[in-house]
Amino acid sequence: MEYPNMTPEKKIESLNLVIPNGKPKALGSYVPIVNVNDLVFISGQLPIDVNSPSNDLKFRG
């Protein structure tokens, strides 16, 4: 049964769900860049569009 006037918040509440606040904690200590001799290893960096108001991905695959 659909409830056209039900907000997403009310729907979540009616299902007895709890949405946690904030970002999840990191599962480890990450280094974004490691320089070894003449090589640079990059990890966990995404192509974020800094001109986007919501920091969208610049490229999608």
Per-residue model confidence (pLDDT) at position 58: 80
Domain-located, residue 55: yes
Two tokens, residue 33: 């860049």
Residue-level pLDDT, tens digit, the chain, 61 residues: 566 788 888 888 889 888 777 665 666 677 888 999 999 998 877 777 777 777 777 877 7
Overall residue count recorded for the chain in this entry: 61
The pLDDT assigned to 6 comes to: 85
**Structurally, how many domains does the chain consist of?**
1
Please indicate, yes or no, if residue 43 is contained in any of the structural domains. Answer: yes
Alpha-carbon torsion (61, 27, 52, 20), positive or negative: positive
Q: Which two tokens stand for residue 15?
A: 């299902």
pLDDT on residue 40: 93
Check: pTM over 0.75? Answer yes or no.
Answer: no
2 belongs to a structural domain? no
Task: Give the domain extent around 46.
Answer: 23-61
16 domain-assigned: no
The pLDDT, as a whole number, for residue 44 is 75
Give domain status of residue 10, yes or no.
no
- In a domain? residue 11: no
